[in-house]
Amino acid sequence: MTTNNYKRFSGKLAIVTGTSSGIGLACARRLAEEGAMIAGIDIKEGDWQQVKALSPDSRFYKLDVSDGSAVKKTFEQVIVDYGRADILLTAAGISKAGPLHMLEEADWNDTIDVNLKGTYLCIKAVLPTMMKQHSGSIVTIASIEGLNGTECGSAYNASKGGVVILTKNLAMDYGRMGIRTNSICPGFIETPLLEQAIGQLPAFKDDIIRETKVGRLGKPEEIAAAASFLASDDASYVNGHSLVVDGGYSAGHSHGIVELMGLS
């Protein structure tokens, strides 16, 4: 839940992809708590009713974000239903890992199609409305794995690295039209996607926590707080930025010296 009691998104529509669980659901809840109507998008409803309870005027739209014709049709319906689009947050994502020589072409394609192509399609679909309004805030969910390499993460990292640079280009192209575009690069967050990736690898999980300088995994609500800021007028001069929210994971490597100095 938010710690503020004002509705800075009152009367605004936020289109959020990946709302069935994890970061997408947390972002949709946070924006709804702050007064936004939510157009939730995912291939399944999941825990959508959490959002509906917070914002009764919100609606769910079943959609595969990698299907171009379906994205166009769905976003057209959203604009018909609400008549506006103030915020787009793209959180739909998948991860199929493995060293490149063992990675099936279908797994590479699926990862790029959902994470990168899906982001492109949703942004393309909402831009005409935002251009007509001469206003809008787009927040893409990238990853620290789009800024740094990760073992056996070639497809996921490539897709998220693409999201980072796409976001910067959008800021350049549309900033003068009143449309801001920023990305969030989460670290390792407690989500079903992370559990799917490392749930059977406890040693790997322990190592991630050791390398995360606050000593724990992140929570989806912590990414939602960052998304709320970037989507809001409080970030009116923030454009083309990649905000790292990773508990210090990417700040540098740990080698046990902090423990030796009695700082843990």
Q: Residue 191: its pLDDT value, please?
A: 87
Q: Residue 199: its pLDDT value, please?
A: 67
Does the annotation mark 156 as catalytic? yes
Q: Which residue has the higher pLDDT, 199 or 145?
A: 145
H-helix or E-strand spanning residue 137: strand 136-141
Q: Residue 1: its pLDDT value, please?
A: 47
Q: Which member of 61, 82, 120, 156 is catalytic?
A: 156
> Angle at which helices 154-174 and 118-133 pack, to 10 degrees?
10
pTM score: 0.94
Identify the CATH number of the domain in which residue 35 sits.
3.40.50.720
Task: Report the C-alpha gap between 61 and 257 in whole angstroms.
Answer: 51
Find the mean pLDDT for residues 157-186.
98
Domain count along the chain? 1
Cβ within 8 Å of residue 19, ≥6 positions away: 25, 28, 38, 40, 41, 42, 46, 48, 51, 60, 91
Find the mean pLDDT for residues 182-188.
97
pLDDT of residue 227 exceeding 90, the answer is yes
In a domain, 138, yes or no: yes
pLDDT of residue 59 exceeding 50, the answer is yes
Cβ within 8 Å of residue 245, ≥6 positions away: 184, 185, 186, 187, 218, 222, 223, 226
In a domain, 181, yes or no: yes
In a domain, 155, yes or no: yes
pLDDT of residue 138 exceeding 60, the answer is yes
Expressed as residue numbers, the domain containing 138 is 13-189+219-248
Q: In terms of DSSP bridges, do strands 37-42 and 13-17 run parallel, antiparallel, or are they unpaired? A: parallel
